[in-house]
Amino acid sequence: MAEIIVVTSGKGGVGKTTTSASLASGLARRGKRVAVIDFDVGLRNLDLIMGCERRVVYDFVNVVTGEASLKQALIRDKRFDSLHVLAASQTRDKDALTREGVERVLKELADDGFDYIVCDSPAGIEKGAFLAMYFADQAVVVVNPEVSSVRDSDRILGLLASKTRRAENGERVKEFLLLTRYSPSRVGTGEMLSIGDVEEVLGLKTIGVIPESPDVLNASNKGEPVILDMESSAGQAYDDAVARLMGEERPMRFTQVEKKGFFTKIFGG
């Protein structure tokens, strides 16, 4: 059975698509067969971050409406043979997605032997976001450590607990917290909420802390998920998150202010 993971948040611009691309690539790098789907109908950013935008012929809506087969629409990643991308439509309305159509696509992917299906949700609580989370087994809630992002994510948790297929069956979606753009120095000065603050408000276990880093934007501009840049702190942090998602124990890195060494104090830097 395929494990369906929704990457969601209440607020836009927190790094959902970056997270979806990195989680999918990280799982594929570990030998898993992975499909990642862009549910953000009308905008479509996942294919850009995955570096396959020029190879999009058919999209998710084409498959849902029967205008194309799933095989025609899936784009094989150039780096991992086991990773496939299903792009969103830029020209359709969000109402083009239906619950029945989405369920059919997810079932076909599961029947085709995919281990993981990562659903990149649009922000907020409109139809695309609802459909992205409805069939989920696990949810990665992406949050910036600021009050508005945390508050909006609390609303998403309410929907995960009440408006999903698992909730209707009396079960729970497994929920995890992933903090992005985390800066220990800003936490220290009180400009940013700490990991403990966010966990306490949302009642979630943290699966990853992604440090504030220019490497994230650089990777996106190059069409490469940042997890593939293992020289960067952000890439390493996403790799840690994937490991924890698969049940491994890893220490939480990049959460403390780096102490300056003796020579750095004397010579600067």
265 assigned binding-site residue: no
205 assigned binding-site residue: no
pLDDT in tens, 164-194: 999 999 999 999 999 999 999 999 999 999 9
10 assigned binding-site residue: no
Compute the average pLDDT of residues 212-234. 96
pLDDT given for residue 185 in this prediction: 95
Compute the average pLDDT of residues 211-227. 96
Architecture of the domain whose range is 3-246: 3-Layer(aba) Sandwich (3.40)
pLDDT given for residue 268 in this prediction: 57
189 assigned binding-site residue: no
Nearest in space to 45 (alpha carbons), one of 84, 88, 74: 88
Between CA 130 and CA 39 the distance in angstroms is 10
261 assigned binding-site residue: no
| pLDDT value at 13 more than 80 | yes
18 assigned binding-site residue: yes
| Domain coordinates in residue numbering, the chain | 3-246
Sheet arrangement for strand 83-86: 75-76, 83-86, 34-38, 116-120, 3-8, 138-143, 174-182, 205-211
Collapse the DSSP code of 69 into the 3-class scheme (helix H, G, I; strand E, B; otherwise coil) and give the result: coil
268 assigned binding-site residue: no
pLDDT in tens, 56-96: 999 999 999 999 999 999 999 999 999 999 999 988 877 78
User: Is the full-model pTM beyond 0.85?
Assistant: yes
Residues forming a β-bridge with 71: none
